[in-house]
Amino acid sequence: MELEESKISTELNLALNTPLDERIKSLDLNVGYIGETDEWELIVKHTGNLEDISIRLGFDYIVLLNGYGIIRIKSALIEELSKSPEIIYIEKPKSIYEEATRIINGYSASCMGFLNRDDNRLTGKGVIVAVIDSGIYYNHPIFWNGDKSKIVQIWDQTEYGNPPTGYNLGVIYDRSDIESGNIITTDSSGHGTAVASIIANIASQADLLIVKLDNRGSSGFPTTISLMMAIDYAIKFAREKNQPLVINLSFGNNYGDHNGNSILEDYIDSVSRVYKTSIIVGTGNDGDSGKHYQFLLGNVGYKQIDFKVDDFETGINLQVWRDYSDIIDVIVRTPSGETIGPLSEFQKIANYNLPDMNISVIYGAPSPINARFETYISIIPKNQYIESGIWNIFLYPKSISNGRIDIWLPVKGSTSSDVSFLYPSEFTTLTIPSTARNVISVGAYDSINDTYAPFSGRGFTVDGVIKPDIVAPGVDIDVALPGGGYGVATGTSFATPFVSAGVAIMMEDGIVSGKDPFFYGERIKAYIIKGARILPGYRVWPNEKLGWGAFCLEDSML
């Protein structure tokens, strides 16, 4: 397939050049493919009108804000699509993963005690908080004020029958449906219920907008397509209601250069400026999982990188990111000693047929949204599992100008066994989209003893942008459970809603009251950074583990 390479994501290019039977066994390559009709669901960035292109090529589409769209197109038409002048960039969807699986000290540690004072009037009233997650157990008492539901609407993307206008999947339930019990929706993992319960407890009169992400694809996980549609819908919904909006995202993945340049992050940064919106994103739980390796490569010698694969692993991929000016050859060695390569960017795509595995390598190209250069390595079993043991990657310099190399393994929870570098890098372990520039990125700390939580995704970005922006309580947090009752949960997923709830309070105080109609986005981030609470034991602020410090609502107010 002769594609316009600069317009096509590296992963999509490899997927289109990988036989279907191999793609199905891979970790991510088949995400977005609909086998019954030989079609792909794709994300596009475009100019002009998608309708004109769809008439010419014959595909279905959903228009998103700011020149983005979701299309469903026959495989045979992707080559022609890539050559259309209106198309800027095309990417296949990627799976995204939940960041974890008593509000003990969390409330007071986040300087929220003033909300309990008799003279306090701040409850988040008039603000919409969108929880885009795994759904919600809407009958839990935490989501009700008397006989009135705190949930203004639920979009269950996994159901059929009544999608919102402009979208092609799911069912919409309004507050009247919720209050009358005329609703069928579940939260099988409990993740969304837990996240939403923290917000509902703090911002008790905020309007909760719940989106249950579609997880019915080939991977069994939600994808970046369902997430982008959810963000798009939340912004349009809030704009229609003329209410300020907070979006809580406690999902992420590792696919990208961790510099804010993925199409998902490009989209989020773009739409964050459309309306009175603040987007709050967890930094993930890969801080100590060994998924990142970073080093400087010189023009002399070579570099060996070792990673281990445990038994019963069904497939993995690696991304090697570098500057386009740096030219290197890559060799891969299996635990049994088979050597593959050298792989050169002049080869573009290489497929290696081993006795028990297929290994595919593709060299990407700089795209209109990212100047960095990617080598993508996919390891696919012929039967059930790839070879376990210690794998080696050798990088041989041919011509080096910059020399920074970053390699990422799949995010924790996405593989069937433990996969990690033997000597991982300590930093830049944030998951995507928390590296987006215009979001408030939230890490976790243990509020019982005011210490960093080792699992929390660490900064900074590859270019040194300060992330996380802030940390919040994320260890042993009281959360609501599906079916009723409470339990405890740990992870940045449960730190993020502390900040989302706090931002709803801040927006009520600024925007809803009329005190400051521009109290959102980067302005509200600046106030949060200024009000951050310094934790003991650190001399340098901001730092890669804790950003600017611990979230302190009272000191961040206008």
Average per-residue pLDDT for the chain:
92
pLDDT in tens, 308-319: 999 999 999 999
Dihedral pair phi/psi, residue 141, rounded to 5°: -55, -25
pLDDT at residue 101 is higher than 50:
no
Task: Tell me the percentage of the chain whose pLDDT exceeds 90.
Answer: 74
pLDDT at residue 103 is higher than 50:
no
* Six-digit token string for 429: 């372990």
pLDDT at 2: 59
Q: Which residues of 38-55 are buried (b: 16+ CB within 10 A; e: fewer)?
A: ebbbbbbbbeeebeebbe
Q: Per-residue pLDDT averaged across 387-398, rounded?
A: 95
Q: Per-residue pLDDT averaged across 498-523, rounded?
A: 97
pLDDT at 106: 74
Q: Per-residue pLDDT averaged across 259-287, rounded?
A: 94
In CATH terms, is domain 5-92 a member of 1.50.40.10? no
Non-local (6+) Cβ contacts of 392 within 8 A are: 304, 305, 306, 332, 333
Cα–Cα distance list, 514 to 62, 499, 511, 518 (Å): 35, 22, 5, 10
pLDDT at 423: 96
Judged by average pLDDT, the poorest of 95-99, 259-263, 456-460 is 95-99
Judged by average pLDDT, the poorest of 115-119, 150-154, 264-268, 542-546 is 115-119
Sequential DSSP letters for 476-507: SEEEE-TTSSEEEE-SHHHHHHHHHHHHHHHH
Q: How far apart are CA 456 and CA 470, in angstroms?
A: 12
* Six-digit token string for 31: 């995400």
pLDDT at 104: 43
* Six-digit token string for 530: 């200024």
CATH architecture of structural domain 292-421: Sandwich (2.60)
Domain with CATH 2.60.120.1290 in the chain: 292-421
pLDDT at 5: 67
Q: Per-residue pLDDT averaged across 225-250, rounded?
A: 97
Domain with CATH 3.30.70.80 in the chain: 5-92
Report residue 3's pLDDT band, with 50, 70 and 90 as the boundaries: low
Cα–Cα distance list, 472 to 290, 437, 534, 547 (Å): 23, 19, 12, 11
pTM for the structure as a whole: 0.93
Q: How far apart are CA 290 and CA 427, in angstroms?
A: 10
Q: How far apart are CA 491 and CA 453, in angstroms?
A: 9
Q: Residue 213's beta-bridge partner residues?
A: none
pLDDT at residue 242 is higher than 70:
yes
Report residue 367's pLDDT band, with 50, 70 and 90 as the boundaries: confident
Domain with CATH 3.40.50.200 in the chain: 122-287+431-556
Q: Per-residue pLDDT averaged across 418-432, rounded?
A: 95
pLDDT in tens, 12-40: 988 988 989 888 888 889 999 999 999 99
Q: Per-residue pLDDT averaged across 173-185, rounded?
A: 93
Q: Per-residue pLDDT averaged across 78-98, rounded?
A: 89
pLDDT at 115: 82
Asked if 460 and 538 touch (Cβ cutoff 8 Å), the reply is no
Asked if 230 and 222 touch (Cβ cutoff 8 Å), the reply is no
**Hey, how many other C-beta atoms are within 10 angstroms of the C-beta on 278?**
29
Question: What is the CATH number that goes with domain 122-287+431-556?
Answer: 3.40.50.200
pLDDT at 541: 95
